[in-house]
Structure 1
Amino acid sequence: MSTCKVCNEPAPLYGVTDFNKSCEERRGRYLPLTGVPVYYNRCDACGLIFTTAFDHWSKADYLQHIYNDDYVLVDPDYIDSRPTGNAAFILDFIKKGQGLRCLDYGGGNGTLTSLLGEGGVDGHSWDPMDEEGVPPSGSFDFISAFEVLEHTPEPLATVREALGLLNGRGVLLFSTLTIDHVSPRGMDNWYIAPRNGHITLYTRRSLQAMFAGLGYRIHHFNDNLHMALKEDPDWLS
């Protein structure tokens, strides 16, 4: 038994998988088993699925064991295809805005921000896993966080940090796959993937509880794309 990282309600053991389980298994690509078990819990109240296996890890541990040179084997889309698609989506999403200051939170290799710059956007990138990166200063009108929240062992702290970079009428647009319908033993779900660093998996209820507790309302475009804000900015109408 553990305690939910979002709502503090009881979260019994949900299942266990090998550390090398990755998202590429949905495409029929499997890594050799490591024999290292990773246990996940699921909250009885909000449905959050999470592991505490990495709670004690340092940034260096993540860079050595997950975000290393082999990471491309378990997430080949992060290099080019995902940033390209996300950049096109953002450019259309904010097209009514003028002079918006934008941040890609958890921006990885910075490809998305570079593409936004080519589209005339005042874009900035910051990744908490970047050992040499300097946290951004000032506030932003728009923040994107694509495939970020499932990677944090501290969801409340991460969301609080990202929202703290928004101005009063700023918008946070983020992606993370919500898992609202699970079987009693649903560890076969492709998104539960410790080798990808997927250590916190959400339901819509858990996202709503987390953002409401921080004073934000949330809109779900679909199971993967979500938006958090306090007030609608003019450019969003």
Structure 2
Amino acid sequence: MLDYGGGNGRLAELLRAAGFPRVETYDPFVPRFATKPTERFDCIVSIEMVEHSTDPVGTFAEMNDLLTEPGLILFSTLLQPNDLDRRGLSWWYVGPRNGPVSLYTKAALDAIGRRFGLTRHSFDNNHHAFYRVLPAFAESFIRADVTVEDSR
């Protein structure tokens, strides 16, 4: 498993302590974890990171390149509300100077996924997955034919 954009590596530590035998951290902004892995992973997690990327397509391309077949990318990012044009920068999630710089809708995630032949599954408005072929380990919590609709 790879924690992509994993900061100080704490999630990887917690996962190893919980019994996951191989968990690595990659974060190009943290010198200790800045070396890009050369191997591929069947599960990549990216928690509250993709909204900080100034190159969303490039970020997902890099994750896709690190993914085995079958494989799963689990990530979190809050979907943009339907009334963002009214809320503008008053939406609490937006922070262009020090926070999220890339905002996503279901359609935006679907467009990114299509570029790489990936299917999107959203558990809710904040937790999502991409996969090309659903790995066996994910079949119990992802149903390929069910995607939760955006409630906003």
**Distance (whole Å) between structure 1 residues aligned to residue 123 and residue 107 of structure 2:** 15
Equivalent in 1, 6, 26 of residue 126 of structure 1: 26
**Distance (whole Å) between structure 1 residues aligned to residue 133 and residue 84 of structure 2:** 37
**Identity rate of aligned residues, in percent?**
37
**Match for residue 80 of structure 2?**
179
**Aligned with 1:211: secondary structure?**
helix
**Distance (whole Å) between structure 1 residues aligned to residue 138 and residue 53 of structure 2:** 29
| 1:61-110 Cα distance to aligned partner (Å, 9 max, x none) | xxxxxxxxxxxxxxxxxxxxxxxxxxxxxxxxxxxxxxxxx000000010
**Distance (whole Å) between structure 2 residues aligned to residue 214 and residue 235 of structure 1:** 21
Larger gyration radius, structure 1 or structure 2:
1
Normalised by the size of structure 1, how large is the TM-score?
0.55
Q: CA RMSD in A?
A: 1.2
**Distance (whole Å) between structure 1 residues aligned to residue 126 and residue 97 of structure 2:** 20
**Distance (whole Å) between structure 2 residues aligned to residue 183 and residue 230 of structure 1:** 31
Q: 1:205 to 1:180 in 2, by over 3 A?
A: farther
One-letter amino acid of the structure 1 residue matched with residue 43 of structure 2? F
Measured after TM superposition, the shift of residue 203 of structure 1 is 0.7
Q: 1:197 to 1:144 in 2, by over 3 A?
A: same
Structure 1 unaligned regions, length at least 5:
1-101
| 1:160-205 Cα distance to aligned partner (Å, 9 max, x none) | 0011101010100000000141243322100111243311111111
Which structure ranks higher in relative contact order (CA pairs < 8 Å, sequence separation ≥ 6)?
1
- Size of the aligned set, in residue pairs, is 136
The answer (yes or no) to whether the contact 1:180–1:204 under 8 Å persists in 2 is no
One-letter amino acid of the structure 1 residue matched with residue 25 of structure 2? S
**Distance (whole Å) between structure 2 residues aligned to residue 183 and residue 225 of structure 1:** 19
| 1:122-146 Cα distance to aligned partner (Å, 9 max, x none) | 1000112124521112110100000
Q: Would you identify which runs of 4 or more consecutive aligned residues in structure 1 move more than 4 Å?
A: none
**Match for residue 15 of structure 2?**
116
Structure 2 unaligned regions, length at least 5:
140-152
**Aligned with 2:125: secondary structure?**
coil
**Match for residue 223 of structure 1?**
125
